[in-house]
Amino acid sequence: MRYGWAFAAGMAMMWATTFSQAEFRGFWVDGFNQGFHTPEQVDTLLQRVRAANLNAVIVQMRKRGDAHYASPLEPFAIQQQEGFDALAYLIEKARSETPRIEVHVWVNSHPIWPGSGWPPDPKHILNRYPEIQTEDYDGKRVTEVGYGGDWGHPLYHEWFAKVVLDIVRRYDIDGIHFDYIRYTGERWGYNPVSIERFNRRNGRTGKPDPTDPLWKQWRRDQVTAVVRKIYAQATTLKPKLKVSAALITWGDGPQNTEDWVNRSAYRAVFQDWQSWLKEGILDMAIPMVYYNEANPRYAEFYRRWATFLKDHQHGRIGVVGIGNYLNSIENTLQQVEFARAPSASGNRVYGVNFFSYAATTGVGTEEGARLYQEPFYTALGEYFKEWVPTPPMPWKQTPTAGHLMGTVLNASDLTPVDGATVEVYQAGSLVRTLTADGNGFFAAVHLPAGDYSLIVRAEGLPAQQIPSVCIAAGMGVNLPVLLGESRGMLVRRLESLANLPDGTPVQLVGKVVIRDWLAPEPPLILRDALSDATVEVKVSTPTLPLLQGDRVAVMGTVRTQPDGKRVVEDATVKWLGVM
């Protein structure tokens, strides 16, 4: 047969193992091709996934600053059937039918629009905040993947976090999955705001050279900071949520542990996914080990990367991403077999993920990958033989640690204290030193349960000591920290606003948004975290859209309305996260 199906079926039977233990088996399902644009496509997707004896789908709900789900923040994807919430329908079908299929939401992180045009929807981030775009050393703004957000600009950093956390909060998903969580090369990342922040932090001026080691580490740190920010908050909202990423493996794999820093992921696009695994801000690493098995050189690249992953999971879960779109069915199965075998050190990965559901095979012809070939799904089903659950994650099932996080703000105006240092102590000993990002956010994830104290320092501001913070296993603590002298009275309970004279400057910290504020017209209504008291806030300083359940800090002035209601006017609002 044309695609070697008879041979592939024989190999599937020959290679079938007794892998009855749990392992991850999934498809990447992109939003450009058919897969979930209509209910019928979702039904077909899940039928094929179950026929292939897979147990997960990683579905691309954000491609280029758009949404295949009901997003309050970003415009609806043009490919999607009008009004059809693919994510809600997919979750329902994946849960209600047997066997259960995990749903992981794939979000493109850096790309926000193709370089051939401009988004027509005013809701798109490029129309709301065009200043967040990345640039190269020469000032160009169209990368190899189109327009992209710059991780060194705090506004894009915060916008992307809000988009992801909104999905986590509103949908019963199994995991969140980052793609393009990086820059596109060492000449990119020259957004003027990022350069200004870098120079201010390091006492420099001018435009740094692309190969400057300190500037390269700066950009690496900006990417890591957004992963940490989302991980800490998302897994506090939903402790069992699995955070994963599609990771770069360009070129040959590392020769040894020390060779990691010479690979493109670390060196050129500033995606230090090895450090993410070590820190625990990534639960599951899925390197995109996309190589043509028919080419001996590339087949060796594949084996070296797969082996490196087996031996460098750092207590988390490694899954080999296989490029079936480049391979015949038989060669894909050969790569699966190698992925599942132990390394020379006896280490195994925890599964495989296929790119892609749509582009099932490629046999080196000019036509490229073949789409939706039923023999491909059948071959996988024959090979795997039976459905198994995804691998357990002990740090989530029986946690012994929690997350400490917070936002450092200047008390005088609620501006973030970029670069503030947070020292974490236990029993008088320094256990971690954290650095606040461009939004003032800091986090220590997987901190062993117990009592801690903090000292927060920033240049030009008095240090603040927080004498006692209790971290509980499997939970997170979010601490807003105000440094310096306040220009307003700190109001701890909203009921006390009734007792203040008109014109009193106030600060409200850690209050909860109970009414969405997506435009200047609707009022922002807040309540205390532990009571039903509310207050209306009239915002004078623009902010990112605030959603129900967000936590905020507010600085403004108490006023009495003609109807006798107390409000806070002329307010500045700072987003503190979702919990």
Q: What is the DSSP string of 308-328?
A: HHHH--TTSEE-EEE-GGGS-
Q: Cβ distance 579 to 478 under 8 Å?
A: yes
DSSP H helices, 391-446, are 394-397
* DSSP state at residue 134: -
- Has residue 156 got a pLDDT over 80? yes
Q: What is the structure's pLDDT at 15? A: 40
Other beta carbons less than 10 A from residue 14's beta carbon: 10
Q: Which is more confidently placed, 3 or 226?
A: 226
User: What domains sit in the chain, N to C, each tagged with a CATH number?
Assistant: 5-395 (3.20.20.80), 399-483 (2.60.40.10), 489-577 (2.40.50.140)
- In tens, the pLDDT along 536-572 reads 999 988 788 999 999 999 999 999 999 989 999 999 9
Pick from 252, 363, 353: nearest CA to 298:
252
- In tens, the pLDDT along 362-402 reads 975 556 789 999 999 999 999 999 999 999 999 999 999 99
Q: Cβ distance 546 to 575 under 8 Å?
A: yes
pLDDT average, residue stretch 241-264? 97
In this prediction the pTM is 0.95
Burial class (CB in 10 A: 0-12, 13-18, 19+), 51: middle
For 565-579, b/e burial (b = at least 16 CB within 10 A) is ebbbeebbbbbbbbb
pLDDT band at 521 (very low <50, low <70, confident <90, very high): low
Q: What is the structure's pLDDT at 416? A: 98
- Has residue 173 got a pLDDT over 60? yes
Q: Could you give the C-alpha distances from 166 to 224, 524, 558, in angstroms and in order? A: 20, 18, 31
Pick from 334, 279, 287: nearest CA to 308:
287
- Has residue 17 got a pLDDT over 50? no
Q: Which is more confidently placed, 520 or 68?
A: 68
Handedness of CA 296, 305, 187, 284 (dihedral sign): positive
- In tens, the pLDDT along 43-80 reads 999 999 999 999 999 999 999 999 999 999 999 999 99
- In tens, the pLDDT along 429-463 reads 999 999 999 999 999 999 999 999 999 999 999 99
- In tens, the pLDDT along 266-296 reads 999 999 999 999 999 999 999 999 999 999 9
